[in-house]
Structure 1
Amino acid sequence: MKTRFAAGSAAVLLAGLALGGCVTEPSTFYTLSSTLPAAEKSAAPIPEQNLAVGIGPVRFPAFLDRPQIVARTADNQLRVDEFHRWGGSLEDDFLRVLSENLGQLLGTSRILVEPAEVRFPLDFRVVADVLKFEGTPNGDAVFKVRWGVLDAYMQQALVIREDTYRSRAANSEPRAMVAALSETLSTFSRDIAEQLRGLPKTRAATTPSEPPQQSDRKRSDRK
């Protein structure tokens, strides 16, 4: 009798575990998107401008470097949502949309996202440290960033700024927060484009990682 009871209990336990596994909530995946209107092109489409812009490095804090969507619930507390995730890497998605936005705003296809195998002479390089890119308890999407524009050789900072962008989510759903984050990225893109339009070109003769004058100088010093 004892053996029969034990076997029956084990069967019930296994059935319960199997049933519990069947009701696991499926994950939902999200991507950022460009929210610029299709008609929003370069405000000053000068043919000879045709800017070539490099993007990167762009650094994210470690707490955002994860597949789960992160929201802030208090100053020192985060919520990591296991069932609402980025469709890929947040950093890659961020760079993809930023490059798409800048290409549209500046009227150019010469946007290079680092690291990249394709190389061409650049006029400027945009670098950034993302400090916040998250939802807040009051329903805002907040994007705080320190960023700058460097010359083609990355030897001189032409613009240095720190900005905070906010956008109200339409509702409490994660997809609404992702849409609001996309809107903050569009506003950031507009600010970058405005700065780039007002700067004189600094285009390098070769790839920006190998400025010829500096390389020749180093060779001369070795001799």
Structure 2
Amino acid sequence: MRRRPRTIAAVVAAAACCLPLLTGCGKSAPTHFFSLSTAAKENVAAPDGPCQSIGIGPVDFPAYLDRSQIVTRLGPNQMHLAEFDQWAEPLRDNFQRALAENLGALICAKPLVTYPWPVGGHPDKQIVIQVARFDGSLGQNATLRASWSVVDGDGNNLAWRSVEYQEAATGPGYADLAAAQSKLVEKFAKDVADTLRQ
């Protein structure tokens, strides 16, 4: 009977020591969400040329980018999926919308729609895109590699291009990488606009 208080005291002391560990296990790092941005309006010239109906899409993305985590390259054959740094929406949808917004500032497109088209929508020209790569390495370069074509309303292929762009990240973080990838979409939009003007 005399040993019981010591046993209880030992259990209480052990529980007190473990309590900080248990409370620490319940916490995790906050998740940060990112999105592609578009060119600032003051940096874009007013659209010129005749107006035309333009449709963006479908846009095909590689399967390795079909996830919420931001994918970065650690080497030629190694990728990293960021657990706590993610896209705020599917990257393909974000890419398609950012491209449309950038393109709308460069050419006169009425209307400018994204795939799938609204009911009754039949654009005069359609931009079909197949993205092969859209990623980068933290603190280094972001890369966009894609093939795309311009198709008229009858399904005829008017132009076909294969492009690759690189943009250096201005810092070591995921926000810097997302900004560099946004610049890549701007470059892509300028090439598409130039082709449509021709």
| TM interval, short-chain normalised | 0.7 to 0.9
Return the offset for 1:7.
7.6
Q: 5 Å matches for 1:28-67?
A: 28-38=32-42, 39-42=44-47, 45-46=48-49, 49-67=50-68
Look up the match of 2:177.
Answer: 177
Structure 2 counterpart SS, 1:97: helix
Look up the match of 1:134.
Answer: 135
CA contact (8 A) 2:56 2:127 kept: yes
Structure 2 counterpart SS, 1:120: coil
Q: 5 Å matches for 1:24-173?
A: 24-38=28-42, 39-42=44-47, 45-46=48-49, 49-136=50-137, 139-154=140-155, 156-173=156-173
Return the offset for 1:120.
2.9
Return the offset for 1:164.
0.4
The one-letter code sitting in structure 1 at the alignment partner of 2:174 is P
Match status 1:192 vs 2:196: no
Return the alpha-carbon distance in structure 2 between the equivalents of residues 26 and 40 of structure 1: 39
Look up the match of 2:22.
Answer: 17
Any stretches of 5+ residues in structure 1 without a counterpart?
A: 199-223
Return the alpha-carbon distance in structure 2 between the equivalents of residues 115 and 186 of structure 1: 22
- Runs of 4+ in structure 1 deviating by more than 4 angstroms, as ranges, are 1-15
Return the offset for 1:151.
1.3
Return the alpha-carbon distance in structure 1 between the equivalents of residues 187 and 53 of structure 2: 20
Per-residue Cα deviation, 1:74-97 (whole angstroms, up to 9, x for no partner): 111101111111111111111111
Structure 2 counterpart SS, 1:33: coil
Structure 1 counterpart SS, 2:176: helix
Structure 2 counterpart SS, 1:52: strand
The one-letter code sitting in structure 2 at the alignment partner of 1:130 is V
Identical-pair percentage: 33
TM-score, normalised with respect to structure 2: 0.87
Distance change in 2, residues 1:31/1:76 (3 Å): same
TM-score, normalised with respect to structure 1: 0.78
The one-letter code sitting in structure 1 at the alignment partner of 2:30 is P
Any stretches of 5+ residues in structure 2 without a counterpart?
A: none
Structure 1 counterpart SS, 2:30: coil
Aligned length: 192
CA contact (8 A) 2:138 2:177 kept: no
CA contact (8 A) 1:54 1:124 kept: yes
Distance change in 2, residues 1:153/1:8 (3 Å): farther
The one-letter code sitting in structure 1 at the alignment partner of 2:114 is V
